[in-house]
């Protein structure tokens, strides 16, 4: 399959509106800049890179040429330079990926990614992680990674930051991290440029290996995703939503697939692939700083 190289692609062009609003809400939280300052003071970026480079196997054109080539192709399609590093971690029984490093990003995939995904599906999963780099939001992603440890550390200080984190910053960060997945999924689709590939990748991310992927399974999965996307969650109380969306280990692949299908149905995906309005974000209603601060995924979706 010949894929289009999306030269000049802007991350704003495919950014999910909920991602944009949730990030604005997070950035307007009192204490957000203080937390970022503390993360810098503690050298979190360097620490995460050190942990990664000291524990994972670096993927090169020599040792894993096919994996490395998929990364090269992904970055070419999404117009991302320079090429981030790629490392391989141990298997966990399920597909797992993450990225660390603000200045020098490192994408890590685990052994299950290498064994479960074919070459086309690798483009999707790598595009998903490359999107975090392209959006230049790595500092916030790293904040989410270290938040549990950081919260405990700051709560023992006399700076009053610990209480600030516990009183809303953590929830705002969880909100945004969930919404950022929608944007990353869009980038994954732009990388592989095939909704069928995106679908099978997400099914595998849900834990179902290749040998179970019959046409019936895929069709029912898509039907379930559309059904979920059509639900009205306004009647679900906020406590239930908080308990659901702050659970880090849930993949929410049906929700994410539903949002991806909405994007395709809107025609916006096809416009980007056809290289129309690459730098034009979706129309966003202008909001005051007060309205942005109040926006919350738990009550606005």
Q: What is the pLDDT of residue 239?
A: 54
Check residue 68 and report its DSSP letter.
H
> Helix H segments across the chain?
11-14, 17-27, 32-41, 44-55, 65-78, 111-116, 119-134, 138-155, 161-164, 170-192, 195-205, 215-229, 238-245, 253-266, 268-273, 289-294, 297-300
pLDDT in tens, 58-90: 999 999 999 999 999 999 999 999 999 999 999
Tokens of 242: 């908080």
What is the DSSP pairing of strand 106-110 with strand 57-58? unpaired
What's the whole-number mean pLDDT along residues 133-157?
A: 77
Whether residue 301 is predicted with pLDDT greater than 60 in this model: the reply is no
What is the predicted pLDDT for the residue at 195? 96
SS3 206: coil
Share above pLDDT 70 across residues of the chain, in percent, rounded to a whole number = 78
Average pLDDT, stretch 147-170? 60
The pLDDT of 97-108, averaged and rounded, is 93
Work out the pLDDT band at 162, boundaries 50, 70, 90: low
pLDDT for the residue 297: 47
**pLDDT tens-digit map of 252-277:** 899 999 999 999 999 999 999 998 76
pLDDT at 229 over 50: yes
| pTM, 2 dp | 0.86
Q: Report CA-CA distances (Å) from 162 to 133, 147, 150, 174.
A: 28, 11, 9, 17
- pLDDT tens string 24-48: 988 888 777 777 777 776 788 888 8
Q: Map out the domains of the chain as residue ranges.
A: 11-300
C-alpha span between 26 and 107 (Å, rounded): 24
Cis peptide before 82, with omega less than 30 degrees from 0? yes
Is the model's pLDDT at 161 over the cut of 90? no
The pLDDT of residue 175: 83
- Segment 286-300, tens digit of pLDDT: 455 454 444 454 455
pLDDT at 158: 45
Q: How far apart are CA 301 and CA 189, in angstroms?
A: 23
| Identity of the highest mean pLDDT range in 67-81, 169-183, 228-242 | 67-81
Residue, of 240 and 74, whose pLDDT is higher? 74
Q: Is the pLDDT of residue 178 over 50?
A: yes
Strand partners, 86: 107
The candidate with the shortest Cα–Cα distance to 141, out of 36, 24, 3, is: 36
């Amino acid at each position: 399959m010949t894929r289009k190289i999306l030269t000049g692609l802007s991350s704003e062009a495919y950014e999910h509106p909920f991602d944009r609003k949730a990030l604005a809400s997070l950035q307007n939280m009192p204490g957000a800049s203080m937390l970022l300052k503390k993360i810098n003071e503690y050298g979190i970026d360097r620490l995460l890179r050190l942990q990664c480079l000291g524990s994972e196997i670096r993927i090169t054109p020599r040792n894993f040429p096919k994996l490395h080539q998929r990364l090269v192709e992904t970055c070419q399609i999404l117009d991302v330079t320079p090429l981030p590093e790629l490392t391989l971690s141990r298997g966990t029984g399920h597909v797992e990926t993450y990225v660390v490093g603000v200045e020098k990003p490192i994408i890590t995939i685990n052994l299950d990614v290498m064994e479960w995904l074919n070459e086309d599906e690798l483009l999707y999963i790598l595009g998903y992680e490359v999107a975090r780099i392209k959006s230049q939001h790595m500092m916030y992603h790293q904040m989410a990674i270290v938040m549990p440890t950081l919260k405990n550390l700051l709560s023992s200080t006399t700076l009053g930051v610990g209480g600030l984190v516990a009183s809303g910053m953590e929830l705002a960060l969880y909100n945004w991290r969930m919404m950022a997945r929608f944007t990353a999924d869009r980038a994954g689709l732009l990388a592989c440029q095939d909704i069928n590939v995106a679908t099978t990748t997400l099914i595998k991310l849900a834990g179902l290996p290749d040998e179970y992927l019959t046409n019936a399974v895929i069709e029912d999965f898509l039907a379930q995703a559309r059904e979920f996307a059509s639900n009205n969650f306004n009647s679900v109380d906020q406590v239930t939503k908080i308990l659901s969306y702050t659970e880090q280990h849930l993949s929410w692949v049906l929700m994410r697939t539903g949002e991806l299908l909405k994007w395709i149905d809107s025609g916006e995906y096809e416009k980007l692939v056809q290289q129309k309005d690459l730098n034009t974000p979706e129309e966003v209603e202008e909001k005051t700083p007060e309205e942005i601060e109040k926006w919350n995924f738990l009550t606005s979706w």
